[in-house]
Structure 1
């Protein structure tokens, strides 16, 4: 059964569709929940995060766009796991508070490194000439006129290739669960 059919059935209140989605995407959600936080969540916390994610899916099925289920699940799982980690830190005894200060810096740094890695992959996945134009503009800081002259293209062509490159980069990142967590995209 396709994702679109499952979502459509779930939006109509069919709990069997949710069960199918849980069976299909449960391991994916649990893998994200288990690996997104430093320190890692306990197995029972991973199960709780997974249950919370699928409950959120059931309650917000109308918010999930067709073809975006996996990205939606990844974003909600990431946020739910982080919230779970935060709430577990709040329950720590006072003598362990010094650990809390170190976690956000390490976690933020690892998340930033992961985003940079995925962004590099996305840029490297761009076809030519968009890849070269994108690299020249955003990494070598060349102006569109310079790029156009160096590559024997119109400046308007360079601008349109940059726009297409940004759209492809956004799509690549969304497919992997990065960005647009507030649904504004």
Structure 2
């Protein structure tokens, strides 16, 4: 219901609604973009694509369907913008034999992608607000006080959530991960 009202406010060109959408969906949009770019983008590239997504939201707010919600629309636009960024990248050409040193083998690259996917699923398994807390603190490098305030948490509670979350991630990724994935 809250999302429907947010879409309706966006359709009426409410800047506070745009700010609310940015605060609420930046972690989701950022991870969607990061996944499409394969984790190879610089922070600046990632931020630029995320900004483009929210600019598109503002420019096309009148076209949104309040009944469908905002998340699917943002996900689609984020994927498309990230794909556009990939297509715009020039293929680097080696300048010499030494520069042409091979990168990771296809097997290593697949393993890296699998590990990144497993980590992402583990962070998602933390649930909200912990997922947002982890993404903003460890991935975006935001200050813990700012994150805690945005999430309505006190600083000691945010620290405790990070500590418990790290322990849960360790369990999910090492000791009992397989059993926990099937339990959901």
TM-score between the two structures when normalised by the length of structure 1: 0.47
Q: Which has the higher contact order (CA 8 A, sep 6+)?
A: 1
